[in-house]
A and B are shown apart, each in its own frame.
Chain A
Amino acid sequence: MKIGKDLVAASAVPLVLSILEEGESYGYALIQRVRALSQGDMEWTDGMLYPVLHRLEAQGYIRSRWSESEAGRKRKYYALKTGGRKALAEQKEQWRIVLSALNQLWGVQHA
């Protein structure tokens, strides 16, 4: 099942911040990780990721650096900053509230 455009857009920031919480990464790898996590149901237009990354960097949530991989490939790597960790903590709390509300309405039983 494909996820709607609005939900994909709304979840972009928490997804990017959460993946970067696992460690430094770059644009292409971020897209692949989202595809793998959603088993292909969450389709991003790849180019849309970069404006999000640049905005997060301008907001001081992440930082970037150009680096060369072992295979000699130049890539722009992004990493989470302290401000980004705080923003992610807030995002997690907000999404938990939304999820909890929906679970109650839909009668999902927790283990």
Chain B
Amino acid sequence: MPEMEQRIAQWRHNLGETTGCNNEVLDELEIHLREEIQQLVRTGHTEEQAFALAASRLGSPRALAREFAKVAEPADWLPVRIVRFAAIALSALLVGFLLLKYQEGRVDLLLTAHVYGITLGYALSLLVGSLAICYVTTRPFRDLSAGQMQELERAVFRLTATAAVLTLAGLLLGCVWAKDHLGRYWGWHPRETWGAGVVVWDLALLLLLAARTWNHRVIPLTILGNIVVAFALLADAFVPHHAYGTPPLPKVLMVFALIHLFLFGVGFLPARRRQHGGDRVAQTVPPQQPN
């Protein structure tokens, strides 16, 4: 019996990891599994056979993840709303600011477009990281509903895609500007290199998010994107004799990186169960209990 309990616990853990379903859904599926095992044992199957058959009848975790993703209705989550508003406000402010500079004749059109793409691209990447921080710090206290998770995944995917496109466009425009003004497209300047790093990071995240499984693990990963963006924003700190290069800026960057690594680690803490009557399934529904 303890072996069966271990199997069920492992099955539940795998299901939760793959589907990202909250504890209420996992409880419901576990109860179903237990009832099926009990029925199969009654009809002459061994416990081992019964478990394998019941788990297979419930469907693979990946198939279940796809089905649950199809039906979850997006539900409002305050951090997503705030981040959406911040993204729109930042974009509008940046357009206004750059148009003003352009009208004053202080920047040409190419540089204006480059600065817009890079600045907004980095800002959106940081907003994605901020959303992920809200997610990992909320879960230990209150698990998100399936609908809220759906809303978060959509926001993270769209913001990351927009950030990748804007940063890539900004980077390419920067190359053209560099050719005109510095005589070369690419010079491996830390600002260029880290900018390319942000694009690569965003594209890698998009690939992982597009798979639509393991999203509850990919979203915490976006926190690390804040470190990449911070290094890209303050890349000049790595250029010797540059004004920004004076200590303690590199130290500040390191502290920033360490804080974000810690927050990423918080993402591995278990989510707090949502309150419902199905709590403590294993203790209340023994597999062999007769009807």
Which residues of A does B touch, CB under 8 Å?
Answer: 27-28, 31, 45-48, 50-52, 54-55, 58, 65-68, 71-76
In the complex, B291 has a CB within 8 A of chain A = yes
CA A42 to CA B290, docked complex, whole Å: 27
CA A73 to CA B38, docked complex, whole Å: 13
CB distance B58 to A46 under 8 Å? yes
Assuming the contacts A73-B285, A75-B31, asked whether A47 and B63 have C-beta atoms less than 8 A apart, the reply is: yes
Dominant SS among interface residues on chain B: helix
Report chain B residues within 8 Å CB of A66. Answer: 276-278
User: Number of contact residues on B: which range applies?
Assistant: 20 to 34
Report chain A residues within 8 Å CB of B181. Answer: none
CA A55 to CA B74, docked complex, whole Å: 11
CA A46 to CA B53, docked complex, whole Å: 11
Distance of B282 from chain A, by nearest CB (Å)? 11
Smallest Cβ-Cβ distance to B61: which chain A residue: A47
CA A55 to CA B35, docked complex, whole Å: 23
CB distance A50 to B25 under 8 Å? yes
Assuming the contacts A27-B32, A74-B284, A76-B28, asked whether A51 and B57 have C-beta atoms less than 8 A apart, the reply is: no
Report chain B residues within 8 Å CB of A51. Answer: 64, 67-68, 70-71
CB distance B70 to A74 under 8 Å? no
Given contact pairs A31-B32, A74-B27, a sample of 4 additional A-B residue pairs in the complex whose CB atoms are under 8 Å apart: A50-B28, A66-B278, A68-B284, A76-B28
CA A51 to CA B290, docked complex, whole Å: 28
CB distance A71 to B291 under 8 Å? yes
CA A28 to CA B291, docked complex, whole Å: 13
CB distance A55 to B278 under 8 Å? no
Q: Which of B11-54 touch A at CB < 8 Å?
A: 25, 27-29, 31-32, 35-36
Report chain A residues within 8 Å CB of B289. Answer: 71-73
Report chain B residues within 8 Å CB of A27. Answer: 28, 31-32
In the complex, B59 has a CB within 8 A of chain A = yes
Smallest Cβ-Cβ distance to A66: which chain B residue: B277
In the complex, B82 has a CB within 8 A of chain A = no
Assuming the contacts A51-B71, A67-B277, A72-B284, asked whether A45 and B59 have C-beta atoms less than 8 A apart, the reply is: yes
Smallest Cβ-Cβ distance to B58: which chain A residue: A47
Q: List 15 A-B contacts (CB under 8 A).
A: A27-B32, A45-B57, A46-B36, A46-B58, A47-B67, A50-B29, A50-B68, A68-B277, A71-B291, A73-B285, A74-B27, A74-B284, A76-B27, A76-B31, A76-B278
